[in-house]
Structure 1
Amino acid sequence: MTDVTTNPTTRATRQDADGVLDGLDPEQRQVATTLDGPVCVLAGAGTGKTRAITHRIAYGVHSGAYVPNRVLAVTFTARAAGEMRTRLRDLGVAGVQARTFHAAALRQLQFFWPQSIGGTLPNLVEHKASLVADACHRLRIQADRTRVRDLSAEVEWTKVMLVDPDDYVRVAAAAGRGEPGGLDLATVARVVRTYEDVKTDRAVIDFEDVLLLTAGILDERPEVAATVREQYRHFVVDEYQDVSPLQQRLLDLWLGGRQDLCVVGDASQTIYSFAGATPEHLLDFPRRHPGATVVRLVRDYRSTPEVVQLANSVLSQATGLHARARLELIAQRPSGPPPSFTAYDDDVAEASGVAARIAAEIRAGRSAKDVAVLFRTNGQSQALESALADAGVGYVVRGGERFFSRKEVRDAVVLLRGAARSALPGHDLGEETRAVLGSAGWSPTAPTAAGATREKWESLQALVVLADELAQKRPGATVADLVEELLERSQAQHAPTVDGVTLASFHAAKGLEWDVVHLVGVSEGLLPISFAETPEEVEEERRLLYVGVTRAREGIHLSWANSRTPGGRATRKPSRFLDAVRPQATPAGRRPAAGGSAKQRSSGPMTCRVCGGALSVAVDRKLRRHADCPASYDEAVFEKLREWRSATAKAAEVPAYVVFTDATLMAIAEAVPGSTAELSRIGGVGPSKLEKYGDDVLEVLAG
């Protein structure tokens, strides 16, 4: 722990402090100037809550009310903590601790463990899977990957909810936990106890232990608690609706009965109750802290009125605890396009239709990184990845390999660190960065090759863009400043934006925003998910949809599929959450035929060229015939195309379907196009793929 000192160089004039308030709306200004707690900020989506609380901290420091290193701001993700530190630095405030709950607790635990417990702090394990698997093995319980995952989540739940293993059966039954991993609650309780034994035998701790052990030391060692409370005098908690009982216990111990606390949250964005998050601490804050200042932020600066109206309508039907906490957002942006609601025949057709729409937006000038496709379950991603690849659209799956863990990024940072030692002052940061990364494979134009080559370039391009942004934000910034920025971002896993359409689950998208958002699979069984049975569980699914809608700045497109597979029975129905929001008089849209114009699409259904019947399935429309109607292609030609595709995919280090799907190859083999114009008329051959593979395909066909 650092000593508490007051550095006069961090104190600015009253004029500087007042300047921090410039540009804040009345409610944000009230948050920023109310420096004495307790303060509760109820902040709707897009209302500038991070702006309000960072300006509050900056105003407190610049006015002399706060000492920077005595302020602790906690949030829930490393990315959010990194963004908060960046904003505070831009406001001229250094030294404020902005960390996640776990990072703050781990720092304290590492410092106090030797003097409180003695010896070395046990190793921290990032994943519970091997420990849970070992516990199951000791109990002779068969455990596949799915069961281990479910039991790991249950172990975490017991700890964040402060449930003792001896009380687990009673508490879990009352909470309606069902049968985690397909096991009865008594068996799960045995797994939980044995899991703790496995940790002891391996001399390790998990992430929840970091909070539990820190809370235990603060509770049992008054001298340690006094040191921490002297170090940190002012607390800010972001995303307070997601606080678990364990985190609240630690926060109470940090405070020690004091009232120097500002909490910020939105009960309508509580989407992690399965992991122990509860909005009750936020909603009960005024009762637990009599005399607290409560400020409501409802001016939405993120989204157009059309998006805001849709978001408000989704929540207007909310029931239960969250209904009374609903904030009616007021749009501040100019009007934009209306939301769209589209029904597709099946999941494949939906993915293809969404990909085609995105490809058209990109051709019209939209940047790929400003578009997102959000879904309820990760299993929905594969069809979307395939469809985007077919459409020649680059994408990034959120939750993949961490940006700063990529080899090309690590190598680039090493090169930049070396360049920083010999860089001359006064040189343009962007130009210097381009020169350095040029030796690592960066080029002014993107490579035409797909796969690893393109991904490497996109990673380096993200660093170039970051250098340009830093130079614009901080004139005179050097390569050394860029390296420092990258180091801080790496520690916080605050990655720069990579140019590509984002694919993410609703949960992973929380806290992010894009110009255009596509919400797919908005149907019964997916949203709400089929296992959401209680009213409380269904309401959480409604809040998931609300979170998804409020990620959009300008355009929002909602879609669903009538059946899961091509040719399947149309048994799905649009989500009940859309009943009050989608235009009832407008029939649900149908996926357009690939490559067809609006005029062509409205002229009638596509028919089979063999039997003349209507084509209602996506793959059939691509082939221009029913799958069970006789094929007209030469098997030898089709096999040559498959061999070419395999070699091309291997060279590019991508799956074969990324080059062309089987259906597209069949369509090419049947049509046998003799020119690029004829090839471009085949479904699945977009402009990008025509440019990449057109000549090669025509050469295979000519041979």
Structure 2
Amino acid sequence: MTDQPRLLEGLDPEQRQAVIAPRGPVCVLAGAGTGKTRTITHRIAYLVQRGLVAPQQVLAVTFTARAAGEMRTRLRALGAAGVQAQTFHAAAFRQLRYFWPRVHETQMWQLTDNKFRLVVQAANKVGLSTEREDVRDLAGEIEWAKSSLIGPEQYPAAAAAADRDVPVLPEQLSKAFAAYEQLKNRAQALDFDDLLLHIAAILEEQPEIAEEFRSRYRSFVVDEYQDVNPLQQRVLDGWLGNRDDLTVVGDANQTIYSFAGASPKWLIGFPHKYPDATLVRLERDYRSTPQVVGLANQVIGAARERPAGTRLKLVGQRPDGPRPDFAEYDDETEEADAIARRIAQLAKRGVALSEMAVLFRVNAQSEVYEKALSDAEIPYQVRGGERFFARAEVRQAMVTLRAAVAYGGNDEDLPATVRAALREVGLTDEPPAGGAARERWESLIALVELAEELAATAPDADLARYVAELDARAEAQHPPTVEGVTLASLHAAKGLEWDAVFLVGLVEGTLPIQHADTDAAVEEERRLLYVGATRAREHLCLSWALARAGGRRYRRRSRFLYGLVPDEHPAALPNKVKQRELLSRPAKPEKPRCRICNATLAGTMDIKLGRCADCPSDVDEDLLSRLKAWRSERARQLKVPAYVVFTDATLTALAEQRPSDVSALVGISGIGASKVQKFGSDVLALIQREHRGGPETPGDAGFSDDRADSSKNTLRSARRSQ
């Protein structure tokens, strides 16, 4: 057992304050890299050691199986092995299996492992597309609705209120949602959201069961509290009842899942709900160098509005490191090849490949980096790809290790025992040269390193306990580290960290993403960049390319980089030619002004509409209706969500400003050369039809020869300006 004084060793004053806070409501606002997991696990262990709560009475919840697994490992090392540390869904599943037979007097319905098939059937039943991408979008909207406590009947109004970019008409999606629920219930199946919905209902409607549950669990801890959605908060309220023994930890600056229903409002509002709560702010960053921390503070400090709960300013605690690097390239291929060379250089200087990551906004950006790393013979792993415990060599190794337990292997030296057992499946003392054999070896050596980790934290651990640990990790999807560069999206990188991080593809239209057309959406994109930057411990490189592979150089670097890249940096002035070009350019244009009152425009939506939010709208409602009908048809033809054609805000701007030619069209924020080429003729024809009442229909109209000739220069200018 760990004694109390040792639990407080090595904690800074703020961490110590959080650990020793009495039972009751505690809110820890923890910035990136400030040791939040260390703080909350020490707090749990401290409460247990002082006898304020029994381990079995504590329920700690987080959002990923990996984070829950890490929490259990730390708690075990701190002498609090009996604490339940699970995801929301895992905790609800466990509770539901216990209470379901008592409530329904039947066996619990099966948790469906093929939700996609049911959504396909529902889509087909109501006449919607069953193409894979369309079904995925439909499933995503159903998940958002259920996690937001919205039923099929309420969906259209709720989607409009939330300004959702829905893949089909809201009324059609409502019907598909209802059909999905009917099919699922008829099959007596549950999806993951049902786990939370049912346990919340049981706790609210069955007082005896609620009392039984609350008599067992007395103390609750919620990690990443900024990511809770309304359904998860409803479950947490059911767990608590009228009690307040709750510790929450989070950082509103890392809220990046709003599209899935997550909201920081419960974290920010915690002190108002619990006026007597202990509030602790963790701002000492132990992860990153002061140079990385400084850049991260600049990124998040430029946010337009920051509620009180988000005003954390990180203070770097590590020694100085290299300044963040910025790099501009002609095209994506050149960018990827340069990143691969930089990775090779860092590897020669001793940075492990597993301590480097390439992070991007969308998964489609991965391909060019996979190729560049493969060409450079640098191993990599795509986060979100094949799961570690699903690999053939790992499955084979676990069979061998279980057999070794059955035959009574030598447990005196656990790592040596594991290494000896894995020789039967191909583990050698030296790694193979490369290719598939090297990848297999890396997986096996990762199992040995896991044995070394367990032996260090639990010296008396034997082979049977090690195999049990592997089984638990396999169930929780908590793999050991494999040697290789990580490729991941910014969303998938949250909660992870590396010595060197490359943030790539930082251009307008990608970060912020093109369909981020409100101030709130743009600020969430800014938080994504902040999350990416704070993943780096020492080396941080931010880069962008002016074109796709071999294409025109029409892209602009992300607006989030302005103010970050020093004026004298090579990325800003890479050569004398570019310097002369910059010096010869006319002065920067004035900030956009309202076309009605001439006031300076600041908000994203105001700039797009060309007017202040308070100024009267002169939208042509009939034109707007026709534009929306046209967009729906084009989206159906292209098999893409409607917002990919044009967002609602862009359609409103078109219906208000009614551009008459290509030049006016590209003057609307969010309409560039590619949009003009794809949809310009349709849009201009629709607008002209409104004025002259002609019979043309969208899609049939085209540019006249004169307009086509006169628009070429405008299109070229549009490409250059993007």
TM-score (norm 1): 0.80
CA contact (8 A) 1:69 1:96 kept: yes
Relative distance call for 1:520 and 1:212 in structure 2 (3 A) is same
Equivalent-residue separation in structure 2 for 1:590 and 1:347 (angstroms): 19
Q: Deviations over 1:617-654 (max 9, x none)?
A: xxxxxxxxxxxxxxxxxxxxxxxxxxxxxxxxxxxxxx
Q: Deviations over 1:340-388 (max 9, x none)?
A: 0000111111111101110121122221101000000000001000000
Which residue number corresponds to residue 49 of structure 2?
62
Q: Deviations over 1:69-93 (max 9, x none)?
A: 0000000000000000000000111
Equivalent-residue separation in structure 2 for 1:565 and 1:57 (angstroms): 52
1:39 to 13, 16, 26: 26
How far residue 423 of structure 1 moved from its aligned partner, in angstroms, is 4.4
Which residue number corresponds to residue 119 of structure 1?
106
How far residue 321 of structure 1 moved from its aligned partner, in angstroms, is 4.9
* 2:515 equivalent to 1:531: yes
How far residue 216 of structure 1 moved from its aligned partner, in angstroms, is 0.7
Secondary structure of the residue aligned to 1:140 is coil
Which residue number corresponds to residue 387 of structure 1?
372
Equivalent-residue separation in structure 2 for 1:337 and 1:321 (angstroms): 29
Relative distance call for 1:161 and 1:603 in structure 2 (3 A) is closer
Which residue number corresponds to residue 4 of structure 1?
none
Pick which of 266-275 and 315-324 moved more. 315-324
1:563 to 538, 541, 547: 547
Pick which of 419-428 and 197-206 moved more. 419-428
Which residue number corresponds to residue 553 of structure 1?
537
Which residue number corresponds to residue 335 of structure 1?
320
Which residue number corresponds to residue 414 of structure 2?
429
Which residue number corresponds to residue 438 of structure 2?
454
How far residue 184 of structure 1 moved from its aligned partner, in angstroms, is 1.2
1:498 to 466, 482, 486: 482
Compute the RMSD of aligned alpha carbons: 1.8
Equivalent-residue separation in structure 1 for 2:96 and 2:418 (angstroms): 39
* 2:196 equivalent to 1:206: no
How far residue 535 of structure 1 moved from its aligned partner, in angstroms, is 0.4
CA contact (8 A) 1:122 1:205 kept: yes
Secondary structure of the residue aligned to 2:29 is strand
Equivalent-residue separation in structure 2 for 1:574 and 1:426 (angstroms): 57
Q: Deviations over 1:461-505 (max 9, x none)?
A: 110111222223333433223212212222221100000000000
CA contact (8 A) 1:342 1:590 kept: no
Q: Deviations over 1:144-179 (max 9, x none)?
A: 11111111100000000011221111111011002x
Secondary structure of the residue aligned to 1:213 is helix
Letter in 2 for 1:472: A
1:585 to 550, 568, 574: 568
Q: How does 1:117-156 map to 2 (within 5 A)?
A: 117-156=104-143
Q: How many residues align?
A: 578
How far residue 556 of structure 1 moved from its aligned partner, in angstroms, is 0.3
Q: How does 1:344-383 map to 2 (within 5 A)?
A: 344-383=329-368
How far residue 206 of structure 1 moved from its aligned partner, in angstroms, is 0.5
CA contact (8 A) 1:68 1:96 kept: yes
Equivalent-residue separation in structure 1 for 2:114 and 2:26 (angstroms): 36
Equivalent-residue separation in structure 2 for 1:274 and 1:361 (angstroms): 36
* 2:210 equivalent to 1:225: yes
2:263 to 266, 274, 278: 278
How far residue 324 of structure 1 moved from its aligned partner, in angstroms, is 5.7
Which residue number corresponds to residue 465 of structure 2?
481
Letter in 1 for 2:455: A
CA contact (8 A) 1:267 1:325 kept: yes
Equivalent-residue separation in structure 2 for 1:443 and 1:404 (angstroms): 20
How far residue 528 of structure 1 moved from its aligned partner, in angstroms, is 0.4
Q: How does 1:225-304 map to 2 (within 5 A)?
A: 225-304=210-289
1:444 to 421, 425, 429: 429
Q: Deviations over 1:8-38 (max 9, x none)?
A: xxxx6xx812221111111111111113110
Identical counterparts, % of pairs:
55
Which residue number corresponds to residue 559 of structure 2?
576
Pick which of 320-329 and 489-498 moved more. 320-329
Secondary structure of the residue aligned to 1:409 is helix
Equivalent-residue separation in structure 2 for 1:539 and 1:241 (angstroms): 15
2:300 to 315, 322, 338: 315
Secondary structure of the residue aligned to 1:24 is coil
CA contact (8 A) 2:565 2:571 kept: no
Secondary structure of the residue aligned to 1:504 is strand
Pick which of 301-310 and 407-416 moved more. 407-416
Relative distance call for 1:202 and 1:74 in structure 2 (3 A) is same
CA contact (8 A) 1:126 1:207 kept: no
Secondary structure of the residue aligned to 2:221 is strand
Pick which of 425-434 and 51-60 moved more. 425-434
Letter in 2 for 1:189: S
* 2:89 equivalent to 1:106: no
How far residue 283 of structure 1 moved from its aligned partner, in angstroms, is 0.2
Letter in 1 for 2:260: A
CA contact (8 A) 1:18 1:59 kept: no
Equivalent-residue separation in structure 2 for 1:287 and 1:73 (angstroms): 23
Gaps of 5+ in 2: 579-722
Relative distance call for 1:323 and 1:341 in structure 2 (3 A) is farther
Which residue number corresponds to residue 648 of structure 1?
none
Letter in 2 for 1:35: P
CA contact (8 A) 1:403 1:495 kept: yes
Which residue number corresponds to residue 491 of structure 2?
507
* 2:83 equivalent to 1:96: yes
CA contact (8 A) 1:396 1:503 kept: yes
Pick which of 325-334 and 119-128 moved more. 119-128
Secondary structure of the residue aligned to 2:539 is strand
Secondary structure of the residue aligned to 1:553 is strand
Secondary structure of the residue aligned to 1:151 is helix
Equivalent-residue separation in structure 1 for 2:324 and 2:408 (angstroms): 50
Relative distance call for 1:529 and 1:322 in structure 2 (3 A) is farther
* 2:70 equivalent to 1:83: yes
Q: Deviations over 1:87-142 (max 9, x none)?
A: 00001112100000000001111100001012111111245321111111111222
CA contact (8 A) 1:125 1:206 kept: yes
CA contact (8 A) 1:343 1:590 kept: no
Letter in 2 for 1:427: E
Relative distance call for 1:294 and 1:127 in structure 2 (3 A) is farther
Secondary structure of the residue aligned to 1:320 is coil
Letter in 1 for 2:463: V
How far residue 290 of structure 1 moved from its aligned partner, in angstroms, is 1.7
Relative distance call for 1:588 and 1:215 in structure 2 (3 A) is same
Gaps of 5+ in 1: 1-11, 592-601, 606-703
Relative distance call for 1:467 and 1:89 in structure 2 (3 A) is same
Equivalent-residue separation in structure 1 for 2:573 and 2:102 (angstroms): 68
Pick which of 467-476 and 92-101 moved more. 467-476
Q: Deviations over 1:244-301 (max 9, x none)?
A: 0000011001000101000000000000000000000000011111211100000000
Pick which of 412-421 and 510-519 moved more. 412-421
